[in-house]
Amino acid sequence: MSIDLQTVFDAWGEPDATARAALVTPALHPDFYYADPHAPHPYQGVPAFLEFLTVFTDRVPGAAVKVTGSSTHNTHTRVTLDLTRDGAPMATVQYFIDHDADGKLTRMVGFMGTEDTA
């Protein structure tokens, strides 16, 4: 995969909307789909996802997301992240990401935690 996922997740902590878009937009397919466990609905398309990031950065100022692990199989990636706020731990989360042959992210689905709790 040719996309630097840490750069993508740096957008979660970027307070400036223009800088946030510059971080994440090059990595996304135009029809990018995003589902988050704290969002009321999935987001379809880059503009809608950028709106989600604006809501996130407004609600969680001082947030930072660090990639702590990832594995890729064909066009699928699982990534584990540590979410902090002002340096204090908030959560460990996982995302399952699909990408096209060029490495553009086409779908990202987030889950709280890293274990199956079913």
Number of domains in the chain: 1
Between 113 and 79, where is the model more confident?
79
115 is a domain residue = no
| pLDDT score recorded for residue 2 | 55
What's the full length of the chain, in residues? Answer: 118
CB 32 within 8 A of CB 24: no
Does this model's pTM top 0.85? My answer is: yes
Boundaries of domain holding 75: 5-107
CATH code (residue 72) = 3.10.450.50
CB 77 within 8 A of CB 3: no
| pLDDT score recorded for residue 107 | 98
Distant-in-sequence contacts of 72-81, Cβ < 8 A, 24+ apart: 72/1, 75/99, 75/100, 75/101, 77/1, 77/5, 79/5, 80/114, 81/9
114 is a domain residue = no
94 is a domain residue = yes
